[in-house]
Structures are given as C-alpha cells and as structure tokens.
Structure 1
Amino acid sequence: MPSPALLCFLVFLAGVGASRHQSTLSEDNCTHFSVSLPHMLRELRAAFGKVKTFFQTKDELHSILLTRSLLEDFKGYLGCQALSEMIQFYLEEVM
C-alpha cells in the first residue's frame, strides 16, 4: 500500500500539472495567482479527500493509531510545541 506521503505528493503533482496548464493560457497569469489560489486549493483538497476516502475504505488494518499515553503527550507542552513547529515548517517551507 502506498504511503500517505506518496499519495500527498501525487495529489500535489496533479495540482501543479493543472496549474501549469492554466499558466500557459496567458502570460500574465501570475498576476492573477492570488485570485486563483483559493480555487486551486479547494480542488486540491477535494482531490486529496477522494484519494484519502478510497484508501481508508480499502484499509483492513483496525488498530488504534494513538494510544492513550501518546494522546496525552500530544496534549502536553511538548506535543503543543512539536505541533506548532510542524505547522510553522509547513507554512514557511511548503507554502
């Protein structure tokens, strides 16, 4: 079964391919990027939702991903800090 990172990458590539196709339609498309970005993100989110739903329905692994102790760790200070750093990395590097 493909990893979630691979699936995200494939969905991202599909979005990039669609945006490149649109960018060839006009030379000044970059000036309208801020207007079209929300629409592209909605399409990307919808496509990822379909892929996620497909693989979740095919998943036969019925295990708990977060044990109670790990969940409590995420609720603590270090979990909050780690999540904050992950979000900051995503916003700075990915977006």
Structure 2
Amino acid sequence: MKALQQALTLLLVKIAIFGLVGCGINKDEHEKVVSQLEQANAQLAKVSAELEQANAQIAKMERSQTDDVAGLKIALRKHKRARKLLRASLASSQ
C-alpha cells in the first residue's frame, strides 16, 4: 500500500512539473502544427465524402449491371425457346 502511495505521489509530482514547465514546444510551433492538423482533418473529411460518393456510384452501377445481366438472360432464354419452336416448326413442315 505504501509503495502504491509513493508511486501515485511521484506521478502527481511529475504531472505538476510538466504542467508548470510545459512540454518544450513554443507556442508558434504548436499553433502551426495544430493548423496543419486541422487542414489535414478537413482534407480527410473531403476525401472521405468523395470516397463515399464513389462507392455509392459503384454500388448503383453494380445493381444496374446485375439487372442488365438478368434481363439479358431472360432475353436469351426467350430466343432459345423461339429458335427451338422455329426448328420444330420447320422440321414438321418438311
């Protein structure tokens, strides 16, 4: 228990010293880094929105393509059926 108290006291002292002294970075550099970080976050948000829009367009195109393929399969079946009936009709007329 005593070791825990000593560790907590040491931690609090270190935090207090760090708070008083600072981390060693001057204010101008800090503001510059914060500004760059904000710009990077804005760009990230913009690119994320563009990516979501592109993904939505891809999903729309995939659905459309799936519908087109289904329509082509139906048309192919109809043509095969019509060809089969035409061949049967030609065979019976000969």
TM-score by shorter chain over 0.5: no
- Relative to the length of structure 2, the TM-score reads 0.30
Question: How does the TM-score come out when normalised to structure 1?
Answer: 0.29
